[in-house]
């Protein structure tokens, strides 16, 4: 456990309905929808928030330093604010940022806002632009890659193919219970396996959508949390793990930032059996092949045990280890918000008011992960009870 100077609680959660088209509103209005909801959820007055944390991916919408314009809708006028961006992990990083800012004693109530209005730009162009202009840009395909799928297929054969499709079907089932999710589709394993190939064996239905959405979360000191009416969800720990920039094409499957993050976080927090001790996991799953591989990494499986678990239905909302009851990233993906939605959904499950996609049991500890950059991981641990100081 890292030393924490003081406890930090999640005291409010707000999200837009994540949708593919929101021509009816502009970016500021999108952000303000989430902010209005977090204010209503936490019952805090805007004047009691002393700091706003803001993040997205600038080149997706083509607005430079959008926090300046967003003052009109995010409540930052006359307040302190930080703009933090780390690619796909941005949302998870925003939660870490808010945790730091409150735990440091610098601020009492910090509002973290992740957002993206992807219909304003061309996402794959935006992502391709992250590769080194001299060495990698010509071969970049954004996030559309079949490499992990090929590896899983080579190692585990057809069962992996079936499991990757099955986990997508499960995500769709969960998303249909979550009215905020973007894709609430009714699909079968056959639909997934017959959908268009993007990069074999990655198919269209394996892949996350481009969504418009925002998520705002309020983080408060213990003293403030006592004052606010929502049941607090406590920040226990978080870790950020990166790796070297350039992709190592020979060894791409072992870019084990997820595994490293899990190992350190579990060791610091006394987690010896994540399957038993963690009540729910909101995992950043940009595509179902990655999801299938990454469950194994986070749960420290070595022989693809997750494949059978998927086919057994163990990851369902009422299963042994509920995974992404919200429907996950393959159902909603407003990139700058995507990772903070994981944290928000994990917190909702602990609070017990996630709505139709609430897991039918008490959740004491929840995990939320973010993924982005050149295989970066942010992993957060939230709890129903205060962490030991």
Footprint (CB under 8 A) of other proteins, residues 365-384:
372-374
Question: Rg (Cα) of the chain, in Å, rounded?
Answer: 19
CB of 362 to other proteins, least distance (A): 28
DSSP 107-141: -SEEEEEEEEEGGGS-HHHHHHTTS-TTTTGGG-B
Nearer to other proteins, 116 or 166 (CB): 116
| CB 109 within 8 Å of CB 49 | yes
Query: Any contact of residue 105 with other proteins (CB under 8 A)?
Result: yes
C-beta separation of 340 from 56 below 8 A: no
How far is the C-alpha of 81 from the C-alpha of 334, rounded, in Å? 22
Which of 142, 189, 190 lies closest to 286 in space, CA to CA? 142
CB proximity list for 165: less than 8 A, separation 6 or greater: 189, 192, 193, 205, 206, 288
Indicate the residue among 74 and 173 with the shorter CB distance to other proteins: 74
Question: What's the CA gap between 371 and 377, in Å, rounded?
Answer: 5
Quote the least distance from Cβ 295 to other proteins, whole Å.
20
Determine if 240 is a binding residue for other proteins (CB under 8 A).
Answer: yes
Print the binding letters for residues 48-77 with other proteins: x by CB under 8 A, - otherwise: ----x--x-xxxx-xxxx-xxx-xx---xx
Per CB under 8 A, does 203 bind other proteins?
Answer: no
- Interaction pattern, residues 299-338, with other proteins; x per rule: CB under 8 A: ----------------------------------------
Instruction: Retrieve residue 212's tokens.
Output: 């418009």
Strand order across the beta sheet in which 233-241 lies = 51-55, 109-117, 212-221, 8-15, 233-241, 376-383, 365-372, 280-282
Position among 245, 248, 308, 362 found at the interface with other proteins (CB under 8 A): 245
Of the pair 2, 188, the CB lying nearest other proteins is at: 2
- Token readout for 139 is 């071969």
Closer Cβ to other proteins, 190 or 245, answer by number: 245
Q: How far is CA 116 from the centre of its chain?
A: 13
The reply on whether position 3 binds other proteins by CB under 8 A is yes
* Position 29 contacts other proteins (CB under 8 A): no
Site for other proteins in 273-292 (CB under 8 A): none
Shortest distance, position 27 Cβ to other proteins, whole Å: 8
CB of 380 to other proteins, least distance (A): 12
Closest distance of CB 119 from other proteins, Å: 13
The one segment of 93-101, 224-232, 278-286, 325-333 that binds other proteins by CB under 8 A: 93-101
Using CB under 8 A as the binding rule, whether residue 103 contacts other proteins is answered as: yes
Give the burial class of 212: count Cβ atoms within 10 A of its Cβ; 0-12 exposed, 13-18 middle, 19 or more buried: buried
What is the total count of residues that contact other proteins (CB under 8 A)?
A: 63
81 part of the interface to other proteins, by CB under 8 A: yes
Is 119 a binding residue for other proteins by CB under 8 A? The answer is no
Q: Residue 222 has what DSSP assignment?
A: H
- Contact between 104 and other proteins per CB under 8 A: yes
Please tell me whether the peptide bond between 201 and the residue prior to it is cis, using omega within 30 degrees of 0.
yes
For residue 349, give both structure tokens.
């499950």
Per rule CB under 8 A, is residue 251 in the interface with other proteins?
Answer: no
Alpha carbon distance 38, 45 (integer Å): 10
Residues that bind other proteins (CB under 8 A): 2-6, 26, 28, 52, 55, 57-60, 62-65, 67-69, 71-72, 76-87, 93, 96-97, 99-106, 126-127, 129-130, 132-133, 239-245, 257, 260, 372-374
């Amino acid at each position: 456990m890292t030393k924490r100077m003081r406890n930090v609680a999640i005291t409010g959660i707000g999200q837009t309905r994540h949708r593919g088209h929101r021509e009816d509103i502009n970016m500021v209005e999108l952000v303000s929808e989430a902010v209005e909801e977090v204010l209503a959820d936490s019952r805090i007055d805007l004047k009691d928030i002393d700091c706003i944390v803001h993040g997205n991916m600038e080149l997706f919408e083509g607005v430079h330093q959008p926090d300046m314009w967003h003052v009109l809708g995010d409540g930052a006028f006359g307040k302190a604010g930080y703009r933090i961006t780390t690619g796909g992990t941005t949302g998870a990083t925003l939660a870490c940022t808010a945790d730091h800012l409150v735990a440091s004693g610098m601020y009492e109530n910090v509002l973290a806002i992740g957002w993206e209005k992807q219909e304003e730009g061309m996402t794959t162009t935006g992502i391709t632009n992250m590769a080194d202009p001299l060495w990698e840009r010509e071969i970049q395909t954004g996030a559309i890659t079949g490499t992990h799928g090929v590896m899983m297929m080579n190692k585990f054969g057809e069962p992996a193919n079936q499991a990757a499709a099955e986990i997508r079907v499960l995500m769709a089932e969960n998303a249909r219970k979550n009215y905020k999710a973007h894709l609430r589709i009714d699909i079968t394993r056959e639909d997934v396996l017959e959908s268009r190939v993007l990069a074999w064996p990655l198919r269209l239905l394996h892949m996350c959508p481009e969504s418009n959405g925002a998520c705002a979360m309020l983080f408060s000191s213990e003293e403030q949390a006592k004052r606010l009416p929502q049941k607090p969800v406590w920040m226990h720990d978080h870790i950020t793990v990166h790796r070297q920039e350039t992709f190592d094409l020979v060894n791409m499957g072992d870019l084990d930032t997820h595994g490293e993050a899990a190992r350190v976080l579990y060791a610091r927090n006394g987690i010896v059996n994540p399957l038993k001790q963690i009540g729910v996991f909101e995992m950043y799953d940009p595509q179902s092949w990655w999801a299938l591989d990454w469950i194994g990494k986070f749960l420290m499986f070595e022989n693809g045990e997750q494949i059978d678990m998927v086919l057994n239905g163990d990851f369902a909302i009422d299963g042994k280890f509920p995974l992404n009851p919200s429907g996950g990233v393959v159902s909603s993906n407003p990139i700058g918000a995507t990772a903070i939605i994981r944290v928000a959904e994990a917190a909702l499950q602990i609070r017990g008011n996630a709505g139709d996609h609430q897991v039918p049991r008490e959740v004491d500890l929840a995990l939320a992960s973010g993924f982005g950059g050149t295989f970066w991981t942010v992993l957060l641990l939230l709890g129903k009870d205060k962490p030991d100081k």
